[in-house]
């Protein structure tokens, strides 16, 4: 069978755009109900998507003052989705920094079993002082330490799944998903990741990133063809170019300025106080991405935009739309399908983690109009041929970690 796209939908509260909850016709508090997630998941299954994806962090985000947040724990929501769907994969984000590997292995292994082998675990190291304070710490662990712990932690969890003799998963064990564009993150991806979420604005950089991850995996004795790289993609769909542009402009208008500034300041680790919208961010305030303390992935993306485009602060805030740094494509279904096909055929992506601008309306537009475009081009399935997430992704079952890294992990 010819190579085909893999597509997930990220159910991120009211949508990835910072002002999505203020968009006309949108229920601003829908993300506080489980029906919001189950209805989108059922729509995604009808469209034949590989999986739904839930982001999460073990803290109450201060930005909730300016937009609704995700307030339902991922495995709780995914268990409900599993009961109301039959085929679609279920990917949840759970921290390696603030969990116990034995307990997590059981919880996620059980969910994989009861869902019929549809679960994937997105391993994150949880950047930021807010989560650290939530666990009684005065500061977050150093970046490299978080990733060393994540590698050991993940190997312990995978080994525990492999040792299960009851409640065994129909797919063997859950799929390990990983996201991280820093040097430490790329090493972890090559070592343990099966699906790699990434953030990239540039096709050539994305192609190089995918090649680096695959080459790194091969050096570690893994099969590079069994690694699926899915960049994040934010979509703004219109029936015409003018309609799509008008939708994007309205989303920029309803973006809360305090939210956008606060999110950008947090990503860059600097204060934006006193900087007007008409000024560029001073270059001397920005360090090399590998020296950044928080999420180096998004720091790198945003710094690259600043370095190459030199936008004013106001322009940068609109460029990001409060969404954090994932690429945004605005256009007709045909134009968005063209963009997806270009990246796919160029070897920059095996598919995409799609983050619609507004939920559910933006995803309805994507599922009803962009997916059929991709199907007509032979790039995406018209029906499922598997019942498990591994099957959807075309992944085999990799070898269990050798055990050389399985020392006790402490938090």
Tokens of 93: 């984000």
Instruction: Name beta bridge partners: 121.
Output: 92, 176
Q: What is the pLDDT of residue 290?
A: 63
Bridging pattern class, strands 6-10 and 51-54: parallel
Which two three-digit tokens encode residue 358? Answer: 């507004």
- Identify whether the C-beta of residue 304 lies closer than 8 Å to the C-beta of residue 328: no
Q: Is the peptide bond before 373 cis (omega within 30 degrees of 0)?
A: no
Question: Residue 285's CB: how many other CB atoms inside 10 A?
Answer: 13
**Percentage of the chain surpassing pLDDT 70?**
94
Least Cα distance to 313 among 235, 254, 257 occurs for: 257
pLDDT digits (tens), the chain, 411 positions: 689 999 999 999 999 999 999 999 999 999 999 999 999 999 999 999 999 999 998 877 777 788 887 678 999 999 999 999 999 999 999 999 999 999 999 999 999 999 999 999 999 988 778 888 888 888 778 888 988 999 999 999 999 999 999 999 999 999 999 987 788 889 999 999 999 999 999 999 999 999 999 999 999 999 999 999 999 999 999 999 999 999 999 999 999 988 888 888 877 888 888 888 898 888 777 877 666 655 667 788 888 888 888 889 888 888 888 666 789 999 999 999 999 999 999 999 999 999 999 999 999 999 999 999 999 999 999 999 999 999 999 999 998 876 544 454 554
Q: 387-398, pLDDT tens digit by residue?
A: 999 999 999 999
Q: What value does the CA radius of gyration of the chain take, rounded to a whole number of Å?
A: 20
CA 29 to chain centre: 22
Tell me the C-alpha distance between 22 and 19, whole Å. Answer: 5
CB 247 within 8 A of CB 29: no
Tokens representing 245 are 């542009």
Q: pLDDT tens, 335-388?
A: 999 999 999 999 999 999 999 999 999 999 999 999 999 999 999 999 999 999
Q: How far apart are CA 37 and CA 108, in angstroms?
A: 19
- Closest listed residue to residue 362, CA positions, set 4, 72, 19: 19
Question: CB–CB of 294/269 below 8 Å?
Answer: yes
| Sequential DSSP letters for 125-160 | ---SHHHHHHTT-SSPPPHHHHHHHHHHHHHHHHHH
CA 107/CA 174 separation, integer angstroms: 11
């Amino acid at each position: 069978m010819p190579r085909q796209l893999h597509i997930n939908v990220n159910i991120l509260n009211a949508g990835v755009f910072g002002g999505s909850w203020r968009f006309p016709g949108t229920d601003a508090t829908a993300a506080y109900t489980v029906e919001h997630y189950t209805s989108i998941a059922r729509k995604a299954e009808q469209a034949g998507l590989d999986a739904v994806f839930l982001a999460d962090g073990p803290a109450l985000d201060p930005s909730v003052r300016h937009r609704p947040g995700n307030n339902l724990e991922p495995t709780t929501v995914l268990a409900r989705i599993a009961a109301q769907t039959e085929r679609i994969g279920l990917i949840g984000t759970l921290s390696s920094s603030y969990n116990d590997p034995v307990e997590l292995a059981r919880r996620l292994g059980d969910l994989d079993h009861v869902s019929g082998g549809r679960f994937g675990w997105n391993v994150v190291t949880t950047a930021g002082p807010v989560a650290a304070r939530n666990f009684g710490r005065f500061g977050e662990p150093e970046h490299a330490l978080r990733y060393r712990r994540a590698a050991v932690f993940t190997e312990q969890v995978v080994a525990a799944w492999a040792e299960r003799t009851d409640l065994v998963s129909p797919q063997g064990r859950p799929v390990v998903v990983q996201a991280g564009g820093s040097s430490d993150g790329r090493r972890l991806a090559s070592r343990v990741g099966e699906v790699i979420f990434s953030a990239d604005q540039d096709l050539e950089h994305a192609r190089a990133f995918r090649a680096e991850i695959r080459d790194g995996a091969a050096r570690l004795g893994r099969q590079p063809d069994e690694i699926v790289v899915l960049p994040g993609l934010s979509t703004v769909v219109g029936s015409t170019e003018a309609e799509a542009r008008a939708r994007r402009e309205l989303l920029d208008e309803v973006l809360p300025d305090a939210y956008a500034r606060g999110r950008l300041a947090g990503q860059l680790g600097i204060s934006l106080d006193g900087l007007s919208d008409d000024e560029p961010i001073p270059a001397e305030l920005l360090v090399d991405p590998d020296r950044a303390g928080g999420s180096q992935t998004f720091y790198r993306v945003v710094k690259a935009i600043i370095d190459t485009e030199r936008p004013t602060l106001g322009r940068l805030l609109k460029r990001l739309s409060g969404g954090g740094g994932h690429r945004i494509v605005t256009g007709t279904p045909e134009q968005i399908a063209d963009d997806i096909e270009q990246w796919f055929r160029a070897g920059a992506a095996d598919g995409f983690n799609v983050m619609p601008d507004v939920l559910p309306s933006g995803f309805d537009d994507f599922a009803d109009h962009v997916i059929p475009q991709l199907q007509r081009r032979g790039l995406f399935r018209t029906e499922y041929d598997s019942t498990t997430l591994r099957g959807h992704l075309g992944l085999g079952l990799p070898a269990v970690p050798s055990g050389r890294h399985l020392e006790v992990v402490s938090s």
